[in-house]
Amino acid sequence: MKSELKRSNAPIFWGLFGAGGMLAALFGPMLVVITGVAVPLGWLPAKTMGYQHILNLARNLIGKGLIWALITLLLWHAAHRIYHSLHDIGIQGGPLAKLLTYGIAMAGTVITLVALLVMGF
Amino acid sequence: MNQRRPYVRPMTGWWKKNPYFVEYMVHEGSALFVALYAIVLLVGVLCLMSGPAAWNGWLAALASPLSVLLHLIILAMVGYHSYTWFKIMPRTLPPVIIAGRRLSARCITTSGLAAVAFCSVALWLLAWGCA
């Protein structure tokens, strides 16, 4: 008997997948409507996504947290789902597949965090 | 050397033969659109960091007909993700026992979809009120 079993890292990635999936399910559709359709077509006032307005949001600590959580959790959700679906289309998972899924999510996490911090408080 | 050439059942396109698996591939495929939307937002954050000109450029790009069409497709796929997320939830959630009875699948799915409706209305009102 092994006295110490290696701890799996699966719960971490599954947790990120679940959190991102829940966020996308609850808020995703309306966010896409607002940023991708309603504001561009003028159904909502242009000020909704005005530079100063969104900059204020991104400089607020809570706003920063919300933007960071939204973008990164969506990326981790998608990365996990795409990685595990590769098997279904006959692609073996491996370091390259991980780099192109979880790697992109990790890069997005860092880039978003740095950008939000650069904008100041 | 191995001289045997055993028959290996080809697996390409396996999911196209059964509507159940087609649906499975579509809902798994929604992840591509979730990723796409996250990247659109990530580009927006980078434009916001670069200043008003870059931000307005991003807004102008979002207002192009091609972008609106793309967002309608993203909306359809993310909306389908929402629906399937809660449709599958009775099977992804551990059994919920309330007053000695297991919470029905229908109740879990309906509550989830009601939560989507509530969050959507709240978000719209927030965007409307903040403007």
Which domain CATH number covers A63? Answer: 1.20.1300.10
Residue B54 carries which DSSP code?
H
Instruction: Report the C-alpha gap between B27 and B40 in whole angstroms.
Output: 21
Whether residue A87 contacts residue A93, with contact meaning beta carbons closer than 8 Å, is answered with: yes
Residue whose structure tokens are 């607002």: A34
Domain tally, chain A: 1
Average pLDDT, chain A: 93
Whether residue A80 contacts residue A13, with contact meaning beta carbons closer than 8 Å, is answered with: yes
What structural domains and CATH numbers belong to chain B? 14-130 (1.20.1300.10)
Output A103 or A8, whichever has higher pLDDT.
A103
- As a whole-number percent, the residues of chain A with pLDDT over 90 amount to 81
Each residue of A17-28: pLDDT tens digit? 999 999 999 999
For residue A85, give the nearest of B26, B91, B18, B42 by alpha carbon.
Answer: B26
Each residue of A104-121: pLDDT tens digit? 999 999 999 999 999 988
In a domain? residue A38? yes
Give the pLDDT score at A9: 86
What part of A 98-117 touches B (C-beta under 8 Å)? 104, 108, 111-112, 115-116
| SS3 labels along chain A | CCCCCCCCCHHHHHHHHHHHHHHHHHHHHHHHHHHHHHCCCCCCCHHHHCHHHHHHHHHCHHHHHHHHHHHHHHHHHHHHHHHHHHHHHCCCCCHHHHHHHHHHHHHHHHHHHHHHHHCCC
Which residues does A118 contact at the CB level (< 8 Å), separation at least 6?
B49
Which chain B residue has its CA at the smallest distance from A14's CA? B92
Model's pTM, two decimal places? 0.91
B78: which chain A residues are within 8 Å (Cβ-Cβ)?
24, 28-29, 32
What are B101's strand-pairing partners? B98
Per-residue pLDDT of chain B (131 residues; tens, 9 = 90+): 567 888 888 888 888 889 999 999 999 999 999 999 999 999 999 999 999 999 999 999 999 999 999 999 999 999 999 999 999 999 998 888 988 899 999 999 999 999 999 999 999 999 988 76
User: How sure is the predictor about A1, in pLDDT bands with cuts at 50, 70 and 90?
Assistant: low
Chain A / chain B CB contacts < 8 angstroms: 157
In a domain? residue A111? yes
Write out the residue range of the structural domain in which residue A55 sits. 14-118
In a domain? residue A2? no
With vertex at residue B51, the alpha carbon angle to CA B47 and CA B57, rounded to the nearest 5 degrees, is 55
Instruction: Report the C-alpha gap between A4 and A46 in whole angstroms.
Output: 59
Q: Any CB–CB contact under 8 A between A70 and chain B?
A: yes
Whether residue B41 contacts residue A35, with contact meaning beta carbons closer than 8 Å, is answered with: yes
pLDDT at A2 over 70: no
In a domain? residue A4? no
